[in-house]
Amino acid sequence: MAVIPVSSIYPYAQEHIPMCIKHDLNIDITCEDCDEFICSQCAKTDHKDHDWKTIPTAGSRRRKELKKTLSKVKEKDFAEIDEKIMKASKQREGNKKCCDSEVSKLQKHYDAIVSKLDEIKKHLDTKLVENLERKNAEVSKKKLDLEKKRDHIKDLVEFLEDKHGTMSDYSLIDNLRDLTNLVSNTDSDIEREDHSVRYRRGDISEGSLDSIMGQTFDLDDFSVTETDSFQYGDEHLYVLEAIDEDTCLTRDGKSKCFERLNIRNKKKENSNICGNKVCVTDKGDVYVTDYRCKPAIVRLSPSGSACTGFNTAPLVPFGICQSTEEGLLVILVDDCTNIFHLDSKSRRLVRHVTLTGDVIREYEYQEDGQTRLFTLPYKVRQNGNTDICVVNSTSLSTGELVILSSSGFLKSVYHGQNLIFDPADVVCDAHCNIIVSDCRNSRIHLLSPDGEFMKYLLTENDVTKPYSMSLYKSTLWVGDIKGLIKVFQFNNT
């Protein structure tokens, strides 16, 4: 291995004194603030109030500290670099593992498709072969029949040839009649037994094959960019519901009524909309839950005056959202004191209702009709694929995200990533991905439509204790527990 003499890279002899381009003077000063060599004129002008020293003064100070400087590099910086190198190796391994796991998922799906195709092919094969067997069995029967007839005719012909001389006329005529009958009766209609099942091939359309095979997507393509923020107050922002890109309804822990906030011009105004939770439908109708008054779910006009509503008593409404099918989804909970200790009388459910309160369906138990779906559900959102996503508290400090199909089948339960998980809010994007706020760990999780973790959309560097969320088209609103509202542009292309 070639060894480069250090002196050739770092010359220490001062054979050449550089000149200042600006002032045409010797460069004999070093500015400690700017880490630059300068001339005496620079020192008086651009670097006037800076900490500069003559090169010999600075040099001798550096020499005194040299041992310390180098040993710091050797001990601390080297160790840090080594750690980064180790991290890089680990990351390579991790990347390999992750890729392998995705490849094996693809292989598994491919095998499943192939075995399904195999099944379909077998079924088609069977149909063809069954027809062949049925038809040929008929043909064989008819063939046997013909062979018998042929033998019979042959016998009769031989008999007539042999015996016609000794036969009475009567007998001859009778036998010839039999012969004619036998010969004319050999029409066995075997054409009817032609193989009649045909195979017609289907279209191999690239699009449908792609949709069966699935696709790859790049997590780097999911990104969020902060576009605006507003310090609303210093209270916990319980509810945040976007009305459009710029406006949202919000309520903090202190207020009973919502305020309308325009994030662009930073204006907040009283909305006259009072209640616990709020949901704004695509049409702009506002529905509010309120357990202090009756009816418990109220539809409001845009001005905030109550129009109509329906009662949920004795159950108390918690979360509310618009259904992507029709009507609303409302979380209903029995009014009891021991909220995490359920007994047979406890009610914890999501009710799908029409806009006038007629019950369409209730989601309370799993398919066995006995196992409860929820402990304390409090936020609900219906995904574009009609799945129902429910934030469910399991204790004072833990929770989970329950994902149900609209037919009531429990699809998955998300428990976070290795840390104690206590989700606060959930929204769904236009591609049915699920976004969950993790207040405790200051993160926003991005999940696939099946509830599989994809990545952290936001971490503690972007948000602190995010609680309430709302997604309007690609504008993601996040409200934290200290009154800060942040708005992000969410990209997933």
Smallest gap from Cβ 57 to Zn ion, in A, equals 15
Smallest gap from Cβ 238 to Zn ion, in A, equals 52
**Nearest residue (CB) to Zn ion, 41 versus 386:** 41
x/- map, 27-46, Zn ion, by CB under 5 A: ----x-xx----x-xx----
Smallest gap from Cβ 34 to Zn ion, in A, equals 3
Helix (H) or strand (E) holding 363: strand 359-363
What does the block give as tokens for 24? 């045409």
Smallest gap from Cβ 18 to Zn ion, in A, equals 11
What does the block give as tokens for 395? 């204790």
The span from the CA of 321 to the CA of 381, in Å, is 6
**Nearest residue (CB) to Zn ion, 53 versus 142:** 53
The span from the CA of 119 to the CA of 113, in Å, is 10
**Nearest residue (CB) to Zn ion, 45 versus 395:** 45
Smallest gap from Cβ 61 to Zn ion, in A, equals 17
Out of 1, 6, 19, 20, point to the residue binding Zn ion (CB under 5 A): 20
Out of 11, 18, 19, 22, point to the residue binding Zn ion (CB under 5 A): 22
The span from the CA of 12 to the CA of 5, in Å, is 12
- For CA atoms 449, 452, 456, 460, the dihedral sign is positive
Tokens 């833990």, located at residue:
398
User: Which of 22-30, 159-167, 436-444, 465-473 is the region at the interface with Zn ion (rule: CB under 5 A)?
Assistant: 22-30
Tell me how many helices (H) and strands (E) the chain has.
6, 27
Smallest gap from Cβ 26 to Zn ion, in A, equals 9
What does the block give as tokens for 163? 């015996």
Which stretches within 164-221 are classed as H helix? 169-184, 206-213
The span from the CA of 232 to the CA of 248, in Å, is 12
Out of 29, 30, 47, 280, point to the residue binding Zn ion (CB under 5 A): 47
Number of residues that bind Zn ion (CB under 5 A): 11
**Nearest residue (CB) to Zn ion, 46 versus 65:** 46
Q: How far is CA 435 from the centre of its chain?
A: 8
**Nearest residue (CB) to Zn ion, 50 versus 482:** 50
Contact 156, 182 (CB under 8 A): yes
User: Which of 49-57, 249-257, 415-423, 439-447 is the region at the interface with Zn ion (rule: CB under 5 A)?
Assistant: 49-57
Smallest gap from Cβ 39 to Zn ion, in A, equals 3
53 binds Zn ion (CB under 5 A): no
> Does a cis peptide bond (omega within 30 degrees of 0) precede residue 314?
yes
Contact 208, 472 (CB under 8 A): no
**Nearest residue (CB) to Zn ion, 47 versus 299:** 47
Smallest gap from Cβ 19 to Zn ion, in A, equals 9
**Nearest residue (CB) to Zn ion, 31 versus 328:** 31
The span from the CA of 249 to the CA of 302, in Å, is 12
Q: In the complex, which residues of this chain contact Zn ion (CB under 5 A)?
A: 20, 22-23, 31, 33-34, 39, 41-42, 47, 50
